[in-house]
Amino acid sequence: MDQYFEQLLLDYALANAEEERKRIEKVLWHDFGRRKLVFVLDMSGFSLLTRKYGVVHYLALVKRMQLTARPIIEENNGLVVKFEADNCFAMFDTALSGVRASIQLNAAFDAMNVHVDDPFDIRISIGMDFGDVLLTGGPDYFGDTVNRASKLGEDIAGPGEILMTEAAFAQLPSQAGFRGQPLDISISGIPLKAFKLDY
């Protein structure tokens, strides 16, 4: 994490006045805030696989996911923020780039799965949101946009599914021709409109 970012957080934590906290928060968003398409990939069914085949099997599949995901994300002008357990966190400047990467990733894993035994199949679910994020200067990002994308990708999307918030879906150019099935979901008791991408 960037030292300047850390110092601002510490100043915020130690500030006694609400006015001072608001000033620091404004500086943080000005210096570290960006509007991005947040992308969260989750490997489906991995708790069961790990229980059945052990941690080495799990780690080998995670490594294969990482080696496949990074180049596809980067070829679509995305940035891998971090790999964490069986998740990939990335960001894109546009929703179109994120969707293209998502479709290519599903196709890549489907093609690989044809050539391996079932226990070595990789199936993924993806969640995306578009909005403001705080970039910490290190390998992480924060904000409601990250939280919504994480919930969609990790908790709601099924294998092979690409879920997008209404905000992310609205960023897709109409001429790209993508369609989605509307979903009304709830994240921590908060209603959220989303779309399951048809591809």
* Domains observed in the chain: 33-198 (3.30.70.1230)
Q: Which of 47, 96, 91, 83 is nearest to 199 (CA)?
A: 96
Q: Give me the tens of pLDDT residue by residue for the chain, a chain 199 residues long.
A: 789 999 999 999 999 999 999 999 999 999 999 999 999 999 987 777 777 778 898 899 999 999 999 999 999 999 999 999 999 999 999 999 999 999 999 999 999 999 888 878 899 999 999 999 999 877 789 999 999 999 999 999 999 999 999 999 999 998 889 999 999 998 888 899 999 999 8
Residue-level pLDDT at 2: 83
Phi, psi of 15 (to 5 degrees): -65, 140
DSSP state of 140: -
Q: Measured between alpha carbons, how far is 188 from 93 in angstroms, rounded to an integer?
A: 27
Structure tokens at 166: 């209404």
Q: Which of 179, 196, 48 is nearest to 121 (CA)?
A: 48
Structure tokens at 87: 């998740």
- Per the DSSP assignment, residues forming a β-bridge with 135 are 141
Q: Measured between alpha carbons, how far is 178 from 168 in angstroms, rounded to an integer?
A: 12
Per residue in 60-90, is it b (16+ CB within 10 Å) or e — as a string?
A: ebbebbeebbeebbeebebebbebeebbbbb
Residue-level pLDDT at 101: 98
Residue-level pLDDT at 51: 76
Residue-level pLDDT at 24: 96
Q: Give Cα separations from 182 to 96, 162, 197, 199 (angstroms).
A: 18, 12, 9, 14
CA angle, 71 then 59 then 82, to 5°: 45
